Structure 1
Amino acid sequence: MKIRVPATSANLGPGFDSCGIALSMYLSVEVLGDSEQWEIIHTLGEDIPTDEKNLLVQTALKLAPSLAPKKLKMTSTIPLTRGLGSSSSVIVAGIELANRLGNLNLSELRKVELATQIEGHPDNVAPAICGDFVVACHFSERKENSVNYVKHYFPECDIIAFIPNTELLTSKSRGVLPENLPYKEAVKASAVANVMIAAVLNGNLPLAGKMMQEDRWHEIYRGKLVPHLSGIRQICKEEGAYGCFLSGAGPTILILTPAEKTERIIKILNALDSRAQVEHLSIDREGVQVF
């Protein structure tokens, strides 16, 4: 059995802690066979445990404590601590591992609820499970029916990921956000998010991209931690991209662009920072898959 989970990008600008898309980068977990103890073969770095301390196994055992140990192989093209849902993908894979090995017969909704409880919010885990574009909300004070979400088709476009060679921890990125927002400012921020979502649903990427760049929830505060954001935004404007936004908490920036603009924008971004990774991606429509 092999489980595949896509990378994700959360927020899309003003859809803070609510909107997300699934992307064509993947975490894969292969069950190789039975074992006396949990063993995970990977080349993801010395800091990633290879035993039951791994987040993958911890998540699975939280749902199905009596699972028999397995030998697993984990591979991933999702960069760590870059705002592309690397930890969410492991959580989703762990839930699916427990679901299949433990015969839990979890519904999609239940998977989203469980993943949200573990992760804290649904913006990454929901698209990782469902695929495509997902808008979700989470009521942490409720024990049941705590998550509501809608999956919708994201309009066809090319997606370019500019991935800096520096990590940005979510804890640090959240640390610069204000504890409160004035009521009038919150109303404006909400209106921008509403128009962005409506534009996506209507297939209007020029308007959606414009609204993605008008975020008032988090990017105006996190911009100082991601100095390349303003420069890439200017490149997008000059080269005719739909728009760009911080992927999750950053530092990765995603650019939405017509296909005919992609090659030139990638060339410009490669010249902007030779240490950065520039990837040509697309929307993953399926979410978590089992083969």
Structure 2
Amino acid sequence: MKEYRDGFVIKVPGSSANLGPGFDSIGMAVNKYVTLFVNHAEEWKFTSVPPLSIKKEENILLTVCKELQKLWGMEAPPVHVLTMSDIPLARGLGSSAAAIVGAIEIMNILCNKNLCPDEKLQLAAKFEGHADNVAASLYGGLVVSTYQNEKWEYVKLPVEELEMVAVIPEFEAKTKESRGLLPDRLAFGEAVAGSSHANVMLGALMLKKWDLVGKMMESDIFHEPYRQKLFPGFNKLKESASGAGAFGITISGAGPTVICFCEKGKGRKVVSTLASEFPQHKVELLQVSKVGSEVHSNHLCRVSSI
């Protein structure tokens, strides 16, 4: 830990999961970030700018840091963690996954674990319950994952010439509650159809067949038909976004954010249209974050000066 004796900074991107039919498997990193400024302290301390009113037991950073010390049978030196984030909480843009990845990066340094990227993924998915968001936050870009033989496997795919427009409501949607809307079972034929939609969507993404990508996104049968009630006016928004140039519109993760996919250069028109027609929501142009979590030494920074 010598290279970080003056503290360190961790930057983790948010993410959009599922992309329609890729339920609990596909995640894309986006250019919204949680940044953690970590400095040595006499006791553990977690603060944020601006201040967040969350209960201690709901602090994911604190929880994961504690659990990793138990798991490894180690006591890490205390630090002050200052969080700055532009990832909205409980909106389907991977805020919890980014926090989990950030906590693992912190403990990897404090406990001198020298974890490889794959080891970080196994830990992150264990805390999150699935790998779609955490894999995107760890590796950046578009990541597809699956769980087999008690191990998460993944592949990172190249994604270029894409923009995203996020329509972010003021209200939250807790993942647990959002999952409660989903059916316990699907008929075999439905599961086969849903899987094939995801397969074709990924192939179309690689070949830049945007119309086919959008068609497959909107053919999802795993979660969107059940979760769209979280976003009043969802169908009207899809119609408006499509008319403005978006080729695919779907719910981001557990919602309630709706994500609209566009070819490079067409996103601003979609932003303008949706901001005008849906002034009650925040509308933002997003890019793919090609880089995942990063750790930098912080010898010039002092938390007290921020």
Q: Distance in 1 between matches of 2:244 and 2:198?
A: 25
Q: Which amino acid aligns with 1:216?
A: I
Q: Structure 2 residue aligned with 1:46, among 34, 50, 53?
A: 53
Q: Does 1:6 align with 2:13?
A: yes
Q: Which amino acid aligns with 2:175?
A: T
Q: Does 1:166 align with 2:175?
A: no
Q: Equivalent residue for 2:112?
A: 103
Q: 1:77 to 1:48 in 2, by over 3 A?
A: farther
Q: Aligned with 1:177: secondary structure?
A: coil
Q: Structure 2 residue aligned with 1:31, among 38, 50, 65?
A: 38
Q: 1:203 to 1:264 in 2, by over 3 A?
A: closer
Residues 46 and 62 of structure 2 are in contact (CA less than 8 Å); yes or no, is this contact kept in structure 1? no
Residues 4 and 290 of structure 1 are in contact (CA less than 8 Å); yes or no, is this contact kept in structure 2? yes
Q: Equivalent residue for 1:213?
A: 218
What is the 5 A alignment of 1:184-263? 184-263=189-268
Residues 155 and 200 of structure 1 are in contact (CA less than 8 Å); yes or no, is this contact kept in structure 2? no
Deviation at residue 258 of structure 1 after TM alignment: 2.4
Q: Distance in 2 between matches of 1:23 and 1:71?
A: 27
Q: Aligned with 1:168: secondary structure?
A: coil
The count of residues paired between Structure 1 and Structure 2 equals 284
Q: Equivalent residue for 1:179?
A: 184
Q: Distance in 2 between matches of 1:48 and 1:289?
A: 27
Q: Which amino acid aligns with 1:41?
A: T
Q: Equivalent residue for 1:21?
A: 28
Q: Which amino acid aligns with 1:21?
A: M
Q: Equivalent residue for 1:72?
A: 81
Deviation sequence 1:189-225 (CA, Å, 0-9, x none): 1111110111122233332122111101110111222
- TM-score, structure 1 as length reference: 0.93
Q: Which amino acid aligns with 1:22?
A: A
Q: Which amino acid aligns with 1:28?
A: T
Q: Aligned with 2:254: secondary structure?
A: coil
* Structure 2: segments with no counterpart, 5+ residues: 1-7, 297-306
Deviation sequence 1:230-271 (CA, Å, 0-9, x none): 112111322221111110011101111124432221112112
Deviation sequence 1:156-215 (CA, Å, 0-9, x none): 222111101111111221111111111111111111111011112223333212211110
243-252 vs 221-230, which deviates more?
Answer: 221-230
273-282 vs 40-49, which deviates more?
Answer: 40-49
Q: Equivalent residue for 2:300?
A: none
Q: Aligned with 1:13: secondary structure?
A: coil
Deviation sequence 1:50-107 (CA, Å, 0-9, x none): xx97321331232234101111211100000100011111100000001112111111
Q: Aligned with 2:266: secondary structure?
A: helix
Q: Aligned with 2:12: secondary structure?
A: strand
Q: Distance in 2 between matches of 1:18 and 1:247?
A: 13
Q: Aligned with 2:177: secondary structure?
A: helix
Q: Equivalent residue for 1:271?
A: 276
* Structure 1: segments with no counterpart, 5+ residues: none
220-229 vs 118-127, which deviates more?
Answer: 220-229
Q: Distance in 2 between matches of 1:184 and 1:87?
A: 33
Q: Equivalent residue for 2:145?
A: 136
Deviation sequence 1:12-49 (CA, Å, 0-9, x none): 000000000000000010112x2221112212421154
164-173 vs 120-129, which deviates more?
Answer: 164-173
197-206 vs 100-109, which deviates more?
Answer: 197-206
Q: Structure 2 residue aligned with 1:286, among 264, 288, 291?
A: 291
Residues 15 and 93 of structure 2 are in contact (CA less than 8 Å); yes or no, is this contact kept in structure 1? yes
Residues 6 and 288 of structure 1 are in contact (CA less than 8 Å); yes or no, is this contact kept in structure 2? yes
Q: Distance in 2 between matches of 1:53 and 1:106?
A: 26
